[in-house]
Structure 1
Amino acid sequence: MLVRWPAVIITAALLAAIGLAGGVIAQMEAGERGILPIDSSGTLEITGISVDVGGKDAESARFAGWRVAQREGFKALWAKTNSRPVSEAPNLSDSTLDGLVSSIVVDREQIGPTRYIATLGVLFDRARAGELLGVPGQVRRSAPMLLVPVMVAGGGATSVELRNPWQRAWAQFRTSQSPVDYVRVSGMGVDPLLINAAMTRRPGRSWWRNVLDFYGAANVLVAEVRVQRLYPGGPSKATFLGYFGPDRQPLGSFEMVAKDSSDLPRMMSEGVQRMDRLFTDALEAGIVRGDPDLIIQQPPPPPEEPEEMPPPRAPILIAISSPNDAWRDYGLAVIRSIRGVSISGSGSTVSVTYSGTPAELRDQLIARGLTASVEGGAIRLISAPKSAAPDPGPAPAPSQPLQSP
């Protein structure tokens, strides 16, 4: 039997399907993967600088606010680096600061017609500002540590599978001043398959050994935050916990509060800095370190096989039958001219080292005009024909007596 549905029901079903599809699309867009970590190896950063300045117009007020941030930022960074009060920091001119500052980071800003209110961060070039700040060019770092940020919120735990505020805060963290050598992942490619919240509780050390070898790390650090919201968009309370190694050795914890959703990035950023101090303290205590058991050792190269040398041949005896010394010397000279021949002795019987057989050496001698034969493994060399004998040269002319005039 054919059932005819009312048009209102059909329309409602279509609208519900459209709404469901839109919700799925929105969820997919909100769940995009991948946040590239900021490379901060050559910069020094100071954050949380509040400015409130005025100007003749909005652009002038903003420029004046950035100049104030440079001055206060350098003093705050100098005081932090040298553990001294801000009042003792040197006063540098604006032109000098312009050469030291790499960039201005805007956390929050409100721009009016003649007023500028903002919270800024200042990045100083390490090479140019390091000497004035008393900062060494290179910081002693730990062994590479794979960092896994885990955020637990709403009953679910995520790491880099989906974008979240905790992953973003670690990606924006500038690690140049930290003694911990963090290996941060972006969440792209195979990262969500290898690095996710569920894998941080996997006890298999063989699996961790392969993962650490893939990322070039010597051990793992897990930075976990558990966020509880009073109501959507309202205050949030977060508990931060640090773990070390595949066995999740606890390193410590602390709590922070965000007054609303807009304050959540600030809480995450400060949480990263406190977590870094927690890891640094564990590093100085000797807890955070590389584990040789987690590093895949490359097999030693195979031993080089010695090159097989052909067995040395027995020396060949050559007996030279010559009527005089001149013929014998001539025969020895011919033998020496053969490539690969070494002669021991200089009499009528000599010992010859040759790479070939006696028959081959005999052929070489015959090719050079000598008469030779092989007898019992030795060579008998007969004098060369007269035409091959060395030319003694013209006879000297007889001297004539001098005649007197």
Structure 2
Amino acid sequence: MLVLALLAAVALYAQVSGERGIAPVASSSDIEVDGIEVDVHGENAEDARANGWREAQRIAWERLDGPDIPDSRLESLVAAIVVEEENIGPRRYIARLGVIFDRQRAGALLGAGGSNSRSAPMLTLPVLISGGTETMFEVRNPWQRAWAEYQFGSSTIDYVRPAGSGGESLLLTYGQTGRRSRAWWNNILDQFGAADVLVPIANLRWEWPGGPVEGRFTARYGPDNRFLDEFTMRADNAEELPEMLERAVTRFNEIFAAALADGTLRPDPTLTLDNIEISDEVRALLEAARAAELAEQAAAAGEGDTPAGVSIDGAAQPQPVETAVPTASYGVQVATPDASDFDGAIAALRAVPGVTRVSVRSTAIGGASVFDVTYAGDISALAAALRQRGWSVNEGQNALGISR
């Protein structure tokens, strides 16, 4: 039995060890133009390269529909040159470059100085299907790398890109995209501070090893894995695959941005948004809508009734003074033999009057899971409320153990 336990521990360590994750690059709000092809000459290799970079700056500025300005001023707007591929000869320079313009300096000339509204944080799970195998973060793959290295600073989508290292490779798998349980999704989204999920899928089919590869790309979103759009691309060989995947990420960003603009891409209302920062404008609209709804309900229920605070003879009556009940967070341990018991426990805890939040501290299917429960009252009142709902409760130091 001890040998089996040791083997299981070694197998589990092997699943999370090694170089699995690819850390995403930090997003910048600078303006980037990629894929600029240049073929120029010069007096020597260094002069040819300088001419190529200046030519790339002009082409990038033209693609952005920038006004006519001298090269000296244009160079002052450039934050960086990204070398995607280059070949340097004695007097010739052939390359594919990217140009990054500083938004603070170039934004006013391009009419892009203002800030754009962005989506809620979206957990991004890139799925690669190749050779009949679906992978996400189990091993490093070119699709994960394309999403990790892409610059999304100017996008209207707030991508939350996991690194996929450590235990994330066990938690974020292709099987997760097929789950429908809101409790499981809420647990994952809470860990990454996201409001919803995006699933860009790349299905690669090789004609022969190292030969042409055709990619069918599908955009899905939400806990119900809803279809959004799809497209195909082709690379002639393995060397062109990274470029094709980079273009595919750009296309996905356009699809998600268009879906956000037309109102299709919005957080699922069945998912919790406790960890999401809501702007003051949106919060004011939500509060106004709730106040209007409460006023309508009060008007419908109180027709013909005497207004509160006024007696039958018209004399004013003293109104009750509401006292705020302090809230606190308590640990609650629940036996969860299977996934349905796990979901049922979360739903039951959230249904208890006075409970404002339930988050997962640890998950143990087949054992005892632990939840953090925020409750308006002391722990004895929470225990009494759970007993009234049929739970057997053992009260401890700032924690409860419950079972059916």
Q: Structure 1 length normalisation: TM-score?
A: 0.62
Q: Could you say if the C-alpha distance between residues 303 and 103 of structure 1 is closer, same or farther in structure 2, counting changes exceeding 3 Å?
A: same
Asked if 1 retains the 8 angstrom alpha-carbon contact of 2:29 and 2:154, the reply is: no
Distance in 2 (CA, whole Å) between partners of 1:205 and 1:304 is 29
- Aligned residue identity for 1:225: A
- Superposition RMSD in Å: 2.0
Asked if 2 retains the 8 angstrom alpha-carbon contact of 1:157 and 1:197, the reply is: yes
Q: Could you say if the C-alpha distance between residues 304 and 219 of structure 1 is closer, same or farther in structure 2, counting changes exceeding 3 Å?
A: closer
Q: 1:296 offset after TM fit, Å?
A: 5.5
SS in 1 for 2:137: coil
Q: 1:263 offset after TM fit, Å?
A: 0.8
Distance in 2 (CA, whole Å) between partners of 1:302 and 1:234 is 69
- Aligned residue identity for 2:268: D
Deviation per residue, 1:99-140 (Å, 9 max, x gap) = 211111111111111111001011111111111111133221
Q: 5 Å matches for 1:22-41?
A: 32-41=19-28
Number of the residue aligned with 1:54: 41
Distance in 1 (CA, whole Å) between partners of 2:97 and 2:149 is 14
Distance in 2 (CA, whole Å) between partners of 1:188 and 1:304 is 39
SS in 2 for 1:103: strand
The equivalent position to 2:257 in structure 1, one of 276, 280, 287, is 280
Q: 1:192 offset after TM fit, Å?
A: 1.2
Number of the residue aligned with 1:167: 144
Number of the residue aligned with 1:224: 201
Number of the residue aligned with 1:399: none
Distance in 2 (CA, whole Å) between partners of 1:162 and 1:114 is 43
The equivalent position to 1:240 in structure 2, one of 217, 226, 229, is 217
Q: Give ranges in structure 1 of 5+ residues lacking alignment.
A: 1-27, 80-88, 306-405
The equivalent position to 2:234 in structure 1, one of 257, 260, 264, is 257
Deviation per residue, 1:296-350 (Å, 9 max, x gap) = 548xx97149xxxxxxxxxxxxxxxxxxxxxxxxxxxxxxxxxxxxxxxxxxxxx
Number of the residue aligned with 2:180: 203
Distance in 2 (CA, whole Å) between partners of 1:49 and 1:64 is 14
Asked if 1 retains the 8 angstrom alpha-carbon contact of 2:49 and 2:93, the reply is: yes
Deviation per residue, 1:259-282 (Å, 9 max, x gap) = 111111111011111111111222
Q: Could you say if the C-alpha distance between residues 252 and 304 of structure 1 is closer, same or farther in structure 2, counting changes exceeding 3 Å?
A: closer
| Pairs aligned (count) | 264
Asked if 1 retains the 8 angstrom alpha-carbon contact of 2:195 and 2:273, the reply is: no
Q: 5 Å matches for 1:368-383?
A: none
- Aligned residue identity for 2:126: P
Asked if 1 retains the 8 angstrom alpha-carbon contact of 2:67 and 2:109, the reply is: no
Q: 1:289 offset after TM fit, Å?
A: 0.8
Number of the residue aligned with 1:303: 325
Distance in 2 (CA, whole Å) between partners of 1:162 and 1:281 is 31
Distance in 2 (CA, whole Å) between partners of 1:201 and 1:43 is 36
Asked if 2 retains the 8 angstrom alpha-carbon contact of 1:71 and 1:92, the reply is: no
Q: 1:194 offset after TM fit, Å?
A: 2.2
Distance in 1 (CA, whole Å) between partners of 2:116 and 2:72 is 28
Asked if 2 retains the 8 angstrom alpha-carbon contact of 1:47 and 1:122, the reply is: yes
Distance in 2 (CA, whole Å) between partners of 1:195 and 1:124 is 35
SS in 1 for 2:270: helix
The equivalent position to 1:96 in structure 2, one of 65, 68, 73, is 73
Q: 1:189 offset after TM fit, Å?
A: 3.1
Deviation per residue, 1:70-102 (Å, 9 max, x gap) = 1111111x23xxxxxxxxx42222221222111
- Aligned residue identity for 2:31: L
Deviation per residue, 1:344-403 (Å, 9 max, x gap) = xxxxxxxxxxxxxxxxxxxxxxxxxxxxxxxxxxxxxxxxxxxxxxxxxxxxxxxxxxxx
Asked if 2 retains the 8 angstrom alpha-carbon contact of 1:242 and 1:252, the reply is: yes
SS in 2 for 1:185: coil
Distance in 2 (CA, whole Å) between partners of 1:148 and 1:100 is 35
Does residue 135 (structure 1) correspond to residue 112 (structure 2)? The answer is: yes
Asked if 1 retains the 8 angstrom alpha-carbon contact of 2:32 and 2:101, the reply is: yes
Asked if 2 retains the 8 angstrom alpha-carbon contact of 1:218 and 1:292, the reply is: no
Does residue 63 (structure 1) correspond to residue 50 (structure 2)? The answer is: yes
Q: 1:36 offset after TM fit, Å?
A: 1.9
Asked if 1 retains the 8 angstrom alpha-carbon contact of 2:195 and 2:272, the reply is: yes
SS in 2 for 1:175: coil
Q: 1:163 offset after TM fit, Å?
A: 1.5
SS in 1 for 2:153: helix
Q: Could you say if the C-alpha distance between residues 137 and 161 of structure 1 is closer, same or farther in structure 2, counting changes exceeding 3 Å?
A: farther
Q: 1:37 offset after TM fit, Å?
A: 1.6
Q: Could you say if the C-alpha distance between residues 304 and 218 of structure 1 is closer, same or farther in structure 2, counting changes exceeding 3 Å?
A: closer
Q: Give ranges in structure 2 of 5+ residues lacking alignment.
A: 1-14, 276-322, 328-404
Q: Structure 2 length normalisation: TM-score?
A: 0.62
Q: Could you say if the C-alpha distance between residues 142 and 296 of structure 1 is closer, same or farther in structure 2, counting changes exceeding 3 Å?
A: closer
Identity of aligned residues (%): 47
> Which consecutive segments of 4 or more residues in structure 1 shift more than 3 A?
none
Distance in 1 (CA, whole Å) between partners of 2:25 and 2:70 is 29
